[in-house]
């Protein structure tokens, strides 16, 4: 039995793509983005750069709700690329998540699992600055960690020129809620969503166009500009899911899990169109093999 887990976006930075699996009797496959394909990474990066430049021109902060593992490190890397090209005008990037900080340090220790292209970029930036610290910090030297609650609260005084990355990724907890409270009502502010927003979460409410939001006990007007960059998602798109499934040389029984109903049914039909079959399991259904 093969369980896909979160298959991952093959366009993502830093980590190598997973190895291919070719045989199975039963496959349980995620279907988070089973109903859509991501924009190309180049299109995503172009849009990301445009948003960053726009925020710089109108003087607002950028808030990036981000998951601590994987997504945050991808965003730091992409901001580092912009910084190295001279296209990041913001004075400071704050990582305001103790868990994300800890994970980023783990990334620094295990660079042997990076892909060659991105590792070369980090090493080249370190060489240009004669730095012995070959890490994401060498690519993005304006990155600061805010570890304590007091340091996080102090960011309330920053009203422009900053990028604040904080958890949680769907805004249903964590320090990002406090930063949203301080910035959502400012029309100069920008909020960039870089991952899937599940139905019923504050993040989904914002991208669906909410005009007001209850945050930390207060009703806040939403005047900030809201952006969604699905290309940064850590989940595979519909075509990537089908491509992964196509590598199985036999014909395993496929069950679609971990997705909203619409996404699962759309992916099921797409898999059928590709010449295979897939089943959507029901509650309490037992699978035997």
Q: How far apart are CA 172 and CA 175, in angstroms?
A: 10
**Average pLDDT of every residue of the chain:** 92
pLDDT confidence of 117, banded at 50, 70, 90?
very high
pLDDT confidence of 195, banded at 50, 70, 90?
confident
pTM of the model: 0.85
- The pLDDT assigned to 178 comes to 95
- The pLDDT assigned to 257 comes to 96
- The pLDDT assigned to 10 comes to 77
- The pLDDT assigned to 212 comes to 96
Question: Helix or strand or coil: residue 165?
Answer: strand
pLDDT confidence of 90, banded at 50, 70, 90?
confident
- The pLDDT assigned to 193 comes to 94
Pairing status of strand 212-215 against strand 218-221: antiparallel
**Apex CA 43: angle with CA 245 and CA 63, to 5°?**
100
- The pLDDT assigned to 289 comes to 81
What tokens does 81 get?
Answer: 């690329």
Q: How far apart are CA 226 and CA 105, in angstroms?
A: 30
How confident is the model over 31-44, as a mean pLDDT? 90
pLDDT confidence of 110, banded at 50, 70, 90?
very high
- The pLDDT assigned to 279 comes to 97
Of the listed ranges 5-14, 119-128, 138-147, the least confidently predicted one is: 5-14
Residue 18 has pLDDT above 80, yes or no: no
Of the listed ranges 74-88, 121-135, 174-188, 269-283, the least confidently predicted one is: 121-135
Quick one: what percent of the chain has pLDDT higher than 90? 74
Q: How far apart are CA 271 and CA 113, in angstroms?
A: 32
């Amino acid at each position: 039995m093969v369980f896909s887990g979160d298959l991952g976006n093959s366009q993502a930075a830093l980590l190598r793509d997973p190895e291919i699996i070719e045989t199975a009797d039963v496959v349980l496959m995620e279907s988070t983005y089973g109903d859509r394909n991501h924009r190309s990474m180049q299109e995503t990066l172009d849009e990301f750069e445009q948003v960053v430049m726009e925020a710089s021109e109108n003087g607002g902060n950028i808030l990036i709700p981000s998951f601590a593992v994987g997504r945050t490190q991808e965003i730091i890397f992409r901001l580092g690329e912009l910084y190295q090209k001279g296209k990041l005008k913001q004075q400071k990037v704050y990582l305001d998540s103790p868990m994300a900080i800890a994970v980023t340090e783990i990334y620094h220790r295990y660079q042997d699992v990076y892909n060659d292209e991105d590792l070369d970029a980090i090493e080249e930036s370190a060489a240009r600055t004669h730095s012995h610290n070959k890490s994401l910090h060498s690519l993005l030297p304006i990155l600061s960690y805010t570890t304590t609650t007091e340091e996080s609260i102090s960011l309330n005084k920053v009203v422009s020129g900053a990028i604040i990355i904080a958890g949680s990724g769907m805004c249903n907890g964590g320090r990002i809620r406090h930063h949203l409270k301080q910035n959502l009502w400012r029309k100069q502010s920008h909020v960039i969503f870089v991952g899937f927003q599940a139905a019923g979460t504050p993040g989904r409410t914002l991208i669906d166009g909410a005009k007001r939001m209850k945050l930390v006990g207060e009703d806040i007007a939403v005047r900030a500009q809201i952006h969604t960059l699905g290309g940064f998602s850590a989940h595979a798109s519909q075509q990537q899911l089908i491509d992964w499934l196509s590598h199985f040389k036999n014909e395993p029984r496929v069950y679609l899990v971990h997705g909203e109903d619409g996404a699962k049914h759309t992916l099921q039909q797409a898999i059928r169109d590709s010449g295979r079959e897939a089943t959507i399991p029901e509650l309490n259904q037992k699978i035997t093999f």
